Each structure stands twice: as structure tokens, then as C-alpha cells.
Amino acid sequence: MTEKILKCFREKFGDGGDIRCYFAPGRVNLIGEHTDYNGGHVFPCALSMGNYGVARKRDDRILRWYNMTYPEEGVREISLDELKPNDNGMWFDYQQGVIWAMQKEGIDIPGGYDMVMMADLPAGSGLSASASIEELAAVIVRDLYDLPISMIDCARFGQISENEYNGSNSGIMDQFASAMGRKDHAIFLDTSDLSYEYVPLNLKNEKIVITNSKVKHNLTENSYNSYNTRRKESEEALADLQRVIDINSLGELDEELFDKNSEYIKSDICRKRAKHAVYENQRTIRAVSALRNGDLKAFGKLMNEAHISMSRDYGASCEEVDILVEEAWKLPGVIGSRITGGGFGGCTVSIVENEHVNDFIERLGEIYRERTGRTAEFYIADAGDGAGRIDKD
């Protein structure tokens, strides 16, 4: 992959100088959806798929980017001094947003750079392609100019980019997983204070299978509005609860305390959104405990419950994804299956016994095609390392 990008880089920007290679992964979230901006826990892992980049410093303040995945866009060029927030949602906006966020936070970026990138991660699939692009930009600038920022800072700049430059009010999970991933581990992250633990994924007889519904999410205006609306509804529920309980986030509640006070949430819809946030947070805590104890059956049951909550209480699924999950539950060897990512399309994540993986892919693909007319894509997920500089091929 990097050799191909290096060749393109030399064609677009010339040879010579200190040319470096980078990678930033996408992520799959095993459980804990829409809890990150509600002060709860999440449990993602970085993937071995993501965005690759090749970059070289410039001696001026110009940024030049070329994306081999979107060659029709040509070379994008802008000055460090001309970056302005927008809601276009183009791949280069996520790059620009990170640079803008760094400068906004007082980071001195001495100069620009030339960069060519290419992805093996499908956009709009719920696997955090945008966060992968953001973290790619963050590690490129950090490394090229030896900036005194941590990888957690890189994740934070990515979230600022998403929220303030690109107009999507997401939490920090996606960027954190891309920046901080560790091979063969998932990250148990408390988003209220960014404390985290690496938990080994000891799946000796099982595989994590991602199924792409091919229904894109978070690319259209309506999708962004849906995501942002969910956050607004959660915030309204929190504001109502804060009139009677001393809390800073929904993540501070357990099920009992929520049920005792849920009547104070004025809107029925906001009450359902808050119920998901609270119950999902507690499910995530229990799921990680089950995994540590080797109880994969309990983990899978909680995954299934998480999907029902995402679909019915949070309203963040869609017909096609519900079909994938509900049909997966019926197949042999499936320990658990649920929607993953922001929702409104995208992917499901399933844990499947090794001996049933091939049959799972074949049968679920057939059923999905028959019921929707769409052709799903399947990926066997490997938990990989986070973003950083890589060796040239």
C-alpha cells in the first residue's frame, strides 16, 4: 500500500527530501454507543483498516493534499492562514479541521506540508473514516514538526475538528480509538475523564465479523441532523434531571436512579434517549466485566440488548441494519450482534464462532440481498495499533 502511495506522491509533488509514511486506523465499537458525549463508557478497538498517508514538510505555509481514493478532486491547496470552519463534510475538511483546531488551541505549526493519502476503509460505513482522516493529519503534523503534543491531544484535536470545524457534535470515542489503539486489545474508556484500560480480546475460537449494510451514514445533511438531534435530545433530558438531581452527565446514573427520576424528563422522546444512554453505559460496564471473566455468552447477550436499545429507544438504526442484526441472531454460532457506530446506516458487528464464520457470511449475505436488494460487504476484524508513523515498504 505505502509503495503505491509513495509512487503517486513522487508523481504529484516530486522526489527528494524527507518523505515519511503514516497510518491511522478506523475503529469498531464492540459496545457502548452514543454514551461518549453523555459522559459514559465505551469499548472500541482500532482496526487494521484505515487511511495511509505519505508526507513531506514544506518551507512555506501551504498545505497540499491529494487523495487517491477520490482522484477526481485533484490536489487540494490551502494556506495555514486561510482555514475556516464549514459543514461540507469533505475528506479534506477533516484534515483542515485538525490543523485549525491545533492553531486554535495555541499550537504553533511552523509550516505546511505535501501529502498523498489512500484508504482501505469504506467511508460512511460507521467505522470512523472521518476520525481516521483526522488522526492521520494529527500524527503527520505532530511528527513532521516534532510538536509537543500527546496522542490523547491528537484525539482531542480530532474531536474539536469534528465538532467545531465540520459541524457534527460527536463524542471523542472515534478519535480516541484511532489514536490510542493497541493490537489485539479493546479500549475500555471512561469518557467523563478520559481514563482508560486496555482489555485483551482473547477470542481463541471466535472472530469479530463486521457487516457493511452499504447504507451510508453521516454523509448527508439529514444524517448529520439526526446525529446532532440525538445529542440535543440527550442534553434536554439531562437539563430536566439536573433540576432534581446533582449530576453533570447521564453517565453518572445507574438504572435504578434513572428509573426513580425519569418522570422529571418532560419529553417522552428525550426520556427514551436518556434511558438508552444510562442503560447502555451500565451494559458496557457489565460487558467488559463479562469479557474479563471469560463469559463471552454474557457479553453477546449484552450486545443484543444494546442493539434493541439503539433501535427502539435511541432511534439510531434503520430497517436494513435491523434486518442484518435480527437475521444474524438466528444463525448458528452467533454469540452476539449489534449495530456499531453512530447509526442511521453503516455496519453491524457480530461475534461468530470460527467454524460458522464462512456459513454466516454466505447465509446472511443471501438473506440480506433477498430482503433488501442490497449486497452487504463483510470484513473479519483484527484489532490493530493506533495512528502513527510507519516504515516504508
Given CA atoms 349, 286, 266, 236 in this order, what sign does their dihedral have?
negative
**pTM for this predicted structure:** 0.94
Residue found under cell 484505515? 50
Q: Could you read off the pLDDT of 169-179 as tens digits, one per residue? A: 888 999 999 99
Alpha carbon distances (Å) from 338 to 25, 57, 148, 320: 21, 43, 39, 12
Of 200, 215, 246, which one is at a domain's C-terminal end? Answer: 200
Q: What's the chain's length in residues?
A: 393
For 159, what's the count of Cα atoms within 13 Å in the CB-facing half-sphere? 19
Per the structure, the count of domains in the chain is: 2
DSSP 190-230: ETTTTEEEEEE---SSEEEEEEE-S---SSSHHHHHHHHHH
Are 98 and 68 part of one and the same domain? yes
Tell whether the model's pLDDT for residue 218 goes beyond 60.
no
Q: Could you read off the pLDDT of 339-352 as tens digits, one per residue? A: 998 888 999 999 99
Are 136 and 237 part of one and the same domain? no
Tell whether the model's pLDDT for residue 274 goes beyond 60.
yes
- Residue 235 belongs to a domain: yes
Over residues 359-373, the mean pLDDT reads 98
Alpha carbon distances (Å) from 156 to 16, 105, 232, 334, 357: 33, 10, 21, 36, 37
CATH classification of the domain holding 244: 3.30.70.890
- Residue 53 belongs to a domain: yes
Over residues 199-225, the mean pLDDT reads 78
Among 19-23, 24-28, 202-206, which is the least confidently predicted range?
202-206
Which residues pair with residue 56 across a beta bridge?
Answer: 114
Are 254 and 183 part of one and the same domain? no
- Residue 391 belongs to a domain: no
| pLDDT reported for residue 122 | 79
- Residue 389 belongs to a domain: no
Are 118 and 228 part of one and the same domain? no
- Residue 390 belongs to a domain: no
Tell whether the model's pLDDT for residue 335 goes beyond 90.
yes
**Which cell numbers hold the place of 30?**
464492540
Of 166, 200, 234, which one is at a domain's C-terminal end? Answer: 200
- Residue 276 belongs to a domain: yes
Q: Could you read off the pLDDT of 45-75 as tens digits, one per residue? A: 999 999 999 999 999 999 999 999 999 999 9
Over residues 143-154, the mean pLDDT reads 97
| pLDDT reported for residue 326 | 98
Q: Say how far apart CA 183 and CA 333 lie, in whole Å.
A: 25
**Which cell numbers hold the place of 130?**
472521518
Q: Could you read off the pLDDT of 75-130 as tens digits, one per residue? A: 999 999 999 998 888 899 999 999 999 999 999 999 999 999 999 987 777 788 99
- Residue 393 belongs to a domain: no
Over residues 258-284, the mean pLDDT reads 98
Are 322 and 174 part of one and the same domain? no
Q: Say how far apart CA 337 and CA 305 lie, in whole Å.
A: 9
| pLDDT reported for residue 263 | 97
Q: What is the span of the domain harbouring residue 163?
A: 2-200
| pLDDT reported for residue 217 | 63
| pLDDT reported for residue 383 | 94
| pLDDT reported for residue 87 | 80
Are 277 and 257 part of one and the same domain? yes
| pLDDT reported for residue 220 | 37
* SS3 state of residue 109: coil
Q: What is the DSSP letter of 114?
A: E
Are 222 and 188 part of one and the same domain? no
Q: pLDDT-derived band of residue 376, with 50, 70 and 90 as boundaries?
A: very high
**Which cell numbers hold the place of 205?**
475460537
Are 73 and 180 part of one and the same domain? yes
Q: Which residue out of 114, 174, 190, 313 is catalytically annotated?
A: 174
Whether 174 is catalytic is yes
Are 189 and 300 part of one and the same domain? no
Residue found under cell 503514516? 22
Q: Could you read off the pLDDT of 279-313 as tens digits, one per residue? A: 999 999 999 999 999 999 999 999 999 999 999 99
Tell whether the model's pLDDT for residue 233 goes beyond 60.
yes
- Residue 265 belongs to a domain: yes
Q: pLDDT-derived band of residue 243, with 50, 70 and 90 as boundaries?
A: very high
CATH classification of the domain holding 113: 3.30.230.10
| pLDDT reported for residue 227 | 80
- Strand ranges (E), the chain: 20-29, 41-42, 44-57, 62-67, 76-79, 113-119, 185-190, 195-200, 206-212, 334-340, 347-353, 377-381, 388-390
* SS3 state of residue 344: coil
Are 159 and 223 part of one and the same domain? no
Tell whether the model's pLDDT for residue 140 goes beyond 90.
yes
Exposed / middle / buried, residue 12 (Cβ in 10 Å: 0-12, 13-18, 19+): middle
Of 200, 230, 256, which one is at a domain's C-terminal end? Answer: 200
Over residues 207-211, the mean pLDDT reads 97
Are 360 and 218 part of one and the same domain? yes
Are 170 and 246 part of one and the same domain? no
